[in-house]
Amino acid sequence: MEGAIIAMCTFESKTLLIPVFNHTKFKDIAEQICSRFVGLSPEVMELTYSLGEHQSCLLQSDMDVSVMKISCCAENIASIPVNVSMVEPVEQLDPISSPHDKHIFRHKTLR
């Protein structure tokens, strides 16, 4: 597995090892995690890892995966612990349907 690092993804005291190559996408990692840990979906999980003095690096996008891989290679790190946790889904407010903000988005008609 030349060129790969191992993401050691831990959720509720169980660990899944996932090889991360240069072409690995966030979706690939998320799908592996969700297929193995019951009850997880990308909408309710948060992935973080620690590298050097940075204790809580987010892993949420393809760019984050690339940065993690490049950083590990630069530091000569072959494997990295990734914490998998469940988070509450964030509901997005619809300003039009919010009773407190309706006055902001409604226009008075001129007569």
Sorted by where each starts, the structural domains of the chain and their CATH numbers stand as: 5-86 (3.10.20.90)
- Length of the chain equals 111
- Please state, in angstroms and rounded to a whole number, the distance separating the CA atoms of residues 110 and 93: 29
Q: What percent of the chain has pLDDT over 70?
A: 77
Lowest mean pLDDT across 31-35, 39-43, 93-97: 93-97
Half-sphere exposure of 31 (CA within 13 A, CB side): 5
Task: Compute the radius of gyration of the chain from its Cα atoms.
Answer: 20
What is the spatial distance between Cα 41 and Cα 85, in angstroms, rounded to a whole number? 11
What does the DSSP 8-state code read for residue 78?
S
Q: pLDDT tens across 55-95, in order?
A: 899 999 999 999 999 999 999 999 999 999 998 766 655 55
Q: Would you tell me how many other CB atoms lie within 10 Å of the CB of residue 84?
A: 22
What pLDDT is attached to residue 105?
Answer: 45
Q: For residue 96, what pLDDT band results from cuts at 50, 70 and 90? A: low
